[in-house]
Amino acid sequence: METIEIIHLLAVALGLVGMAWIAAGDFRSLKVRNFDVLVLTVIAAVAAATDPSGQWQSSLLIASALFAIGFVLWLAKLIGAGDAKFYFPLGLMVGWSGAGLYVVFLLVTSVAILVLFRIEPWIPQVGGVIRHRLAEIAEKRKVPYGVPMAISGILAVLLT
């Protein structure tokens, strides 16, 4: 295996961890931190630049398109600024080959999370940190959009 392939695999692995980190942080605080997005953007840029298929231009195109969509959603006050910025490194990680899967997974995970928050009051009151946090988030009537974004990105990367 060549050095460039090893760098690519390491960057992809770190990118997957970075997406999971951002999702966990958004779940905990309802915020996507700029520093985390910046670090993930650097990792994703390395992953795209070292992609053996040489399709970094299409990854950049998808990243730019997703960021533009995120910007419009932010302007419409449908998502937060951190979520909008998170779209750029997600696009770099997913690339052209995973964009279709990403969109499908994003639709499914977004609907699933919205349904979860709608049915949350009817879930039996069992203990646990996650259950407690779900109740807090549902009470605030906010959605940690970074969670479905990251889950969808991780699945799209792993399945392409």
Whether 154 has a pLDDT exceeding 90, the answer reads yes
Mean pLDDT of the chain: 89
Half-sphere exposure of 63 (CA within 13 A, CB side): 24
The tokens describing 141, both together, are 């009537």
Give helix then strand counts, H and E, for the chain: 6, 0
Confidence at 55, pLDDT banded by 50, 70, 90: confident
Whether 135 has a pLDDT exceeding 90, the answer reads no
Count of CB atoms situated within 10 Å of the CB of 40: 27
Residues 38, 93, 157, CA angle at the centre, nearest 5°? Answer: 140
Give me Rg for the CA atoms of the chain. 16
Q: Are the beta carbons of 30 and 140 closer than 8 angstroms?
A: yes
- Helix (H) / strand (E) containing 36: helix 34-49
Residues making up the chain, counted from first to last: 160
What is the four-CA torsion angle of 157, 158, 159, 160, rounded to 10 degrees? Answer: 50
15-52 tens-digit pLDDT: 999 999 999 999 889 999 999 999 999 999 999 999 98
Confidence at 74, pLDDT banded by 50, 70, 90: very high
